[in-house]
């Protein structure tokens, strides 16, 4: 059995331009689970991870609206809530899809904490936009009242809060899931892990851990999981069929089968935007350098063919 980690991007969970209702999320997930069941039916060990940007945004907004009656929860708790709701959604929709594909596996969501270093330079330089866009006046109040770092987005005409995005160091629940796979139980379970990159926690002096006001990049979190579990393939699923050079420009070229060295060369020429494709490429290269065999970037319609080596950007270690 070869193990595959499929990391689902926001689009696999929520349709662009939708309202973000639960019914929409279910419909979107229903359109996603067929190919996951197909991969499992081919005999691969399957581990899932997912992003949570829009879902955290919705919870932040609920916090704002309800704060006079229900105290706002901190960001790490919101991260845990999104792992719960999205894990539940995957369990609900993937379970019958597995049954239809005659795959006798159960879906198991693991609330995942990921240790970050409290001295990570990211804490001094918040970079990840979260939540909604605020008009100038409101942004000024929030900066003053809460000390938020905010960034103006000209295209959207509003201000957005930036939070630190530290590097994931260690996935605390990793050993439990590794034991499950090492015991040969990958043909019985589909673990859903490290949602939203994992809940960022730092180690306390007493040996315990506590959550921090930050978010971990889900692509980096997925790479850490794939390395920790010693999986063969890391597949990052997004809303484009692969990585391109000259993206969005005349002469744009989609990458098919490439080596890690070739991909790194394109990366060093600045082909992959820092807030989107950049972290995927960086995370995939890290996975391959740590002994991973294959890194895929693809979308849901092409995922099965990408796993079969026929579509998507397919990166080999050498
Ligand atoms: P996800 O939610 O799946 O992480 P992102 O928006 O973060 O999605 O990343 C996917 C996006 O990356 C694509 O929609 C595309 O606009 C952008 N992108 C930036 N550079 C490239 C590139 N070189 N090739 C392909 N897509 C790119
Ligand atoms: Mg992204």
Reduce the secondary structure of 239-287 to three states and give it as a string: CCCCCEECCCCCCCEECCEEEHHHHHHHHHCCCCCCCCHHHHHHHHHHH
Question: Rounded CA gap, 298 and 314, in Å?
Answer: 9
In order of 78, 89, 111, 141, 229, the CA distances from 84 in angstroms are: 10, 9, 7, 32, 22
**What is the average per-residue pLDDT within 259-268?**
98
Q: Which ligand is nearest to the CA of 12?
A: 1
pLDDT over 80 at 10, yes or no: no
pLDDT, position 17: 78
Whether 182 is in the pocket of ligand 1, judged by its Cβ within 6 Å, is: no
Output the pLDDT for position 136: 95
- How far apart CA 263 and CA 88 sit, in angstroms, is 36
Ligand 1: residue whose CA is nearest its atom 18:
277
User: How confident is the model at residue 252, as a pLDDT?
Assistant: 97
Distance in angstroms (rounded) separating the CA atoms of residues 50 and 167: 17
Tell me what the pLDDT averaged over the chain comes to. Answer: 96
**Residue 211 pLDDT exceeds 90:** yes
Per-residue model confidence as pLDDT tens digits over 33-85: 999 999 999 999 999 999 999 999 999 999 999 999 999 999 999 999 999 99
How much of the chain, in percent, has pLDDT values that exceed 90?
95
Percent of the chain with pLDDT over 70: 100
Ligand 1, pocket-test mutation among 277, 279, 312, most atoms within 8 A of CB = 277
Report the separation in Å between the CA atom of 297 and the middle of ligand 2, taken as the mean of its atom positions.
Answer: 12
Contacts of 36 (CB under 8 A, 6+ apart): 6, 46, 48, 94, 97, 190
Rounded to the nearest angstrom, the distance between the alpha carbon of 1 and the centre of ligand 1 is: 31
Of ligand 1's listed atoms, the one at least distance from the Cα of 10 is 2
Q: How far apart are the C-alpha atoms of 54 and 82, rounded to whole Å?
A: 10
In whole angstroms, give the CA distance from residue 139 to residue 143. Answer: 6
Residue 124 has pLDDT above 80, yes or no: yes
- Catalytic machinery residues: 10-11, 128, 218, 280
Tally Cβ neighbours within 10 Å of residue 285: 20
* CA separation for the pair 289, 185 (Å, rounded): 27
Cα gap 256→130, rounded to integer Å? 32
What pLDDT does residue 19 have?
Answer: 81
CA dist., res. 166 & res. 120, Å (int) = 6
Backbone phi and psi for residue 70, each to the nearest 5 degrees, phi listed first: -125, 115
Q: Is 277 in the pocket of ligand 1 (CB under 6 A)?
A: yes
Residue 239, ligand 1, Cβ within 6 A = yes
Q: Is 243 in the pocket of ligand 1 (CB under 6 A)?
A: yes
- Does ligand 1 lie within 6 Å of residue 247's CB atom? yes
CATH architecture of 4-316: 3-Layer(aba) Sandwich (3.40)
Of 4-18, 123-137, 141-155, the range with the lowest mean pLDDT is 4-18
- Asked if pLDDT for residue 207 goes beyond 90, the answer is yes
Among protein residues, the one with the nearest Cα to ligand 1's atom 27 is 277
């Amino acid at each position: 059995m070869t193990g595959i980690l499929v990391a689902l991007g926001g689009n696999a969970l929520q349709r662009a331009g939708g309202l973000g209702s639960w019914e929409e999320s279910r419909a979107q997930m229903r359109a996603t689970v067929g190919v996951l069941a197909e991969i499992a039916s081919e005999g691969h060990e399957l581990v899932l991870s997912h992003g949570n940007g829009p879902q955290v945004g919705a919870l932040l907004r609920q916090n704002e609206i309800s704060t006079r009656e229900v105290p706002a929860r901190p960001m790490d708790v919101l991260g845990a809530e999104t792992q719960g709701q999205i894990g539940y959604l995957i369990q609900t929709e993937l379970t019958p899809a597995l049954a239809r594909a005659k795959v006798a596996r159960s879906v198991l969501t693991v609330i995942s904490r990921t240790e970050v270093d409290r001295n990570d330079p990211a804490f001094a330089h918040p970079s990840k936009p979260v939540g909604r866009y605020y008009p100038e006046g409101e942004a000024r109040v929030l900066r003053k009242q809460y000390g938020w770092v905010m960034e103006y987005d000209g295209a959207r005409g509003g201000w957005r809060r930036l939070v630190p995005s530290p590097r994931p160091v260690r996935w605390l629940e990793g050993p439990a899931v590794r034991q499950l796979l090492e015991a040969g139980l990958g043909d019985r379970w589909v673990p859903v892990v490290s949602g939203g990159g994992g809940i960022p926690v730092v180690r306390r002096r007493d040996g315990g851990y506590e959550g921090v006001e930050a978010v971990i990049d889900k692509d980096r979190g997925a790479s850490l999981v794939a390395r920790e579990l010693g999986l063969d393939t890391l597949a990052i699923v997004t809303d484009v069929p692969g990585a391109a050079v000259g993206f969005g420009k005349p002469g744009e070229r989609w990458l098919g089968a490439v080596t890690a060295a070739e991909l790194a060369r394109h990366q060093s020429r600045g082909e992959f935007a820092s807030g989107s494709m950049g972290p995927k490429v960086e995370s995939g290269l890290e996975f391959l350098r740590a002994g991973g065999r294959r890194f895929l970037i693809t979308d849901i319609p092409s995922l099965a063919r990408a796993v079969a080596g026929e579509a998507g950007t397919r990166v080999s270690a050498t």
